[in-house]
Amino acid sequence: MTEKNPVAIRSLFNHIANRYDLANSLLSFHLHALWNQKVSQRIFQKSAPQMIVDLCSGTGDIAIRTLKFAERKKIALTQIHLVDFSEEMLKVAKHKALKLPLEMQEKMIFKQADVTNLSYESSFFDGAVCAYGVRNVNNIPLFLSEVHRTLKPKGTFVILELTRPKHVLMKKLHDLYIRTFIPLIGKWLTSNKDAYGYLQESIRSFTSPNQLARMAEEAGFTHVEIEPLSGGIATLLLLHK
C-alpha cells in the first residue's frame, strides 16, 4: 500500500470496519476504552459545547461516549456530527446508534467526507474531536487548518493518537509490540499484507506529539496541552482556538 494514499486507506478501513472495534480492543489491551472516555471528558473540560464534530469518527465509539457523558452531566449537547471517509465505518456507527435512546439518535448527524475539505461554514462548531485518525490524514497541516476554520472562537479540539513512549524500557517494549503483535492482529484483520503493513508503519512513523502541537500552532491554535497516556503509548492533545 502506498503510504497515505487516501483511496487505499479508505479501502482498508472499509474492509476491516466490522472488526475495527475488536481490533482496537486487542491492539490496546482494552486500554482504548479508558483513552476514549478521556476524549469525551476533555471536550467538556473548559466549556459546554452544544455542537461537536467527531472527525475520522470511525465506528462512532467516541461520539456515543460523548453523548452519554453529556447526558450524565446534564450538558445541553444538541448535535454531534460524525465525519469519516469510509462508508463502511459509518454504516457500523449507524447500526450502533440504533441501540441508543431515540433522543440521542436524533442528535447524531452522519457525513461521509474528506476531513481536509469540510463543507461546513466557518465558526460552525463549538468543539471537535479526532481519535486515531490524524495519522491516516494525507495533509495534516491542511486538516488542522480546516478544523480551526470550522471552530468558533474559544472552541476546543481534542486529538487522541497512538504514539511512541519516551522512556527507554517502554520504548523497547513498544518496538517489540510493533514488530510482533501488530502483524499478528493485522493478519487476522485482513489477508492483504500491504494493509497490515500499513497499520504497523502508521504507528512506527507517526509524527511526535510535539511536532503535531507545532503544526497546530501554525494552523492558528493559540494554546496547546499535551497529555501522555499509559506511559506515552497514546497521547491526548488539547487545542484551543
Whether 2 has a pLDDT exceeding 70, the answer reads no
Q: Looking up cell 494493509, which residue turns up?
A: 195
By CB neighbour count within 10 A (0-12 exposed, 13-18 middle, 19+ buried), where does 130 fall? buried
Give 149 or 29, the one with higher predicted confidence: 149
160 assigned to some structural domain: yes
98 assigned to some structural domain: yes
Whether 3 has a pLDDT exceeding 70, the answer reads no
pLDDT of res. 176: 83
Whether 151 has a pLDDT exceeding 70, the answer reads yes
Give 12 or 137, the one with higher predicted confidence: 137
What tens digit of pLDDT does each residue of 175-203 get? Answer: 888 888 877 777 776 665 665 677 777 87
Which residue range forms the structural domain that includes residue 139? 6-240
* Residue 51, strand partner residues: 79
207 assigned to some structural domain: yes
Percentage of the residues of the chain whose pLDDT score is greater than 90? 67
pLDDT of res. 76: 93
Average pLDDT of the segment spanning 61-78: 96
109 assigned to some structural domain: yes
Average pLDDT of the segment spanning 142-164: 96
33 assigned to some structural domain: yes
Domain count, the chain: 1
1 assigned to some structural domain: no
The domain that contains 213 carries what CATH number?
3.40.50.150
Whole-angstrom Cα distance, residue 125 to residue 134?
Answer: 19
Which helix H or strand E contains 118, and what residues bound it? Answer: none
pLDDT band, very low/low/confident/very high, at 1 (cuts 50, 70, 90): very low
Mean pLDDT estimate for the chain: 90
Average pLDDT of the segment spanning 163-180: 84
pLDDT of res. 112: 97
What tens digit of pLDDT does each residue of 73-89 get? Answer: 999 999 999 999 999 99
Which of 206, 205, 208, 201 is CA-nearest to residue 228? 208
CA angle, 118 then 65 then 125, to 5° = 30
pLDDT band, very low/low/confident/very high, at 38 (cuts 50, 70, 90): very high
pLDDT of res. 141: 97
pLDDT of res. 200: 73
Q: Are 100 and 75 in contact (CB under 8 A)?
A: no
Most confident region among 3-7, 25-29, 106-110, 178-182 by mean pLDDT? 106-110
Straight-line distance from the first to the last Cα atom of the chain, in angstroms, rounded to the nearest whole number: 35
Other beta carbons less than 10 A from residue 45's beta carbon:
11
pTM: 0.93
What tens digit of pLDDT does each residue of 97-134 get? Answer: 999 999 999 999 999 999 999 999 999 999 999 999 99
166 assigned to some structural domain: yes
pLDDT of res. 191: 63
